[in-house]
Amino acid sequence: MEEKKAENLSNILDLPINPEHMILSHTPMREIAKTYGDKRVLIMGSHDVWHVAKCYGFKKVVSVEDLLHHHPTQYPFIHYEQRPAPHHEEPIDAIIVMHDPINWAPDIQVAVDVLIGGDPPGSGRPSGKQTPLFISNDDFVFSGAYPFPRFAQGAFTRCLKLLYEDLTGRKLEVTNYGKPHIITYNYAERLLNTISGQSEPLKHMYGIGDNPLSDIQGANNAGDEWTSILVRTGIYDGSKDPEHEPDVTVDDVYEAIKHIYKREGINDSTL
């Protein structure tokens, strides 16, 4: 996905973008592979997330569909021909949601079963502990071609949390990636310092976005080196969020870059 995003941005901006410099919401999940690379994991999402997971170093990837083919009665409202799931002799050690799931009903049912654990899933782990859950993006809505915001991965997670907690009476434990969570900003900071090639850490970094709850909150909480810049595009609706005030507000990304150039003493005539 990083390669496709870099190619897309390169075409839009007419600038060469290195895929290794791209950070998507799930990019920092590469580091989870250090722990779970050789373990069986349920990868959830859409597009080509299963291929991406394997590229990140996860060797034993299974999907919701794999599990439903293995246990066709697990979600009886869709017909699945029975066949063994990959690595079916091993337990699932983690759930990793890398992108927005599409079919929420079977996805949530299977996710709750795997969170509870056991063989078959849902029968419970001997320890009673929840299967670890990693979420790549907690945004509740996103802005697309439709004139009003659409539900995003964060909305899926809220539904999953409600149903798991109502069923088990236990709090759902989640490790969140993406904005506004500090784990993502720490990853970005390490990458920016590597790209800069300077012996000293960068003193100024900028977080630009249209969402106060993710973009602005994340940059505000990332440390004194970060400046949050709110753009009046995307899901921006003009309302004030007193809990997440931006350091700077501008009309669009172009104006944000001009502000950064001015602050850093760079001639903006090349923009």
Amino acid at 117: G
pLDDT score at 106: 98
pLDDT beyond 80 at 126: no
pLDDT beyond 80 at 192: yes
- Topology alike, domains 2-176 and 204-270: yes
CA–CA distance, 261 with 271 (Å, rounded to integer): 10
Cα 249-197-222 angle, rounded to 5 deg: 35
As a whole number of angstroms, the longest Cα–Cα distance in the chain is 65
Q: How confident is the model at residue 111 (pLDDT cuts 50, 70, 90)?
A: very high
Return the domain boundaries, the chain. Answer: 2-176, 204-270
Arithmetic mean of pLDDT over the chain: 94
pLDDT beyond 90 at 68: yes
pLDDT score at 18: 93
Least confident piece of the model among 22-31, 142-151, 172-181, 188-197: 142-151
Q: Given the DSSP bridges, would you call strands 248-250 and 226-231 parallel, antiparallel or unpaired?
A: parallel
CA–CA distance, 169 with 153 (Å, rounded to integer): 23
Average pLDDT over residues 64-76: 95
A 10 A CB-CB count for 86 gives 13
pLDDT score at 49: 94
Which two tokens mark 250?
């501008």
> Where do the H-state alpha helices sit in 27-172?
33-36, 49-56, 64-70, 104-116, 153-168
Interval 127-158: pLDDT, tens: 789 999 999 999 898 888 998 889 999 999 99
153-168 and 104-116 are packed helices; what angle lies between their axes, rounded to 10 degrees?
Answer: 50
Q: How confident is the model at residue 65 (pLDDT cuts 50, 70, 90)?
A: very high
Interval 201-253: pLDDT, tens: 999 999 999 989 899 999 999 999 999 999 999 888 888 888 999 999 999 99
pLDDT score at 45: 96
pLDDT score at 109: 98
Q: How confident is the model at residue 268 (pLDDT cuts 50, 70, 90)?
A: confident
Average pLDDT over residues 248-264: 95
Domain 204-270, second-level architecture: 3-Layer(aba) Sandwich (3.40)
Identify the CA nearest to 219 among candidates 232, 201, 236, 206: 206
Cis peptide before 72 (omega within 30 of 0): no
Average pLDDT over residues 58-72: 96
Q: How confident is the model at residue 167 (pLDDT cuts 50, 70, 90)?
A: very high
Pick the CATH number of 2-176 from 3.30.930.10, 3.40.50.10490, 3.40.50.1000, 3.90.950.20: 3.40.50.1000
pLDDT beyond 90 at 13: no
Total-model pTM? 0.88
pLDDT beyond 90 at 269: no
Beta bridge partners of residue 102, listed in sequence order:
none
Which two tokens mark 200?
């000293």
What is the number of residues in the chain?
Answer: 271
Identify the DSSP state of 264: H
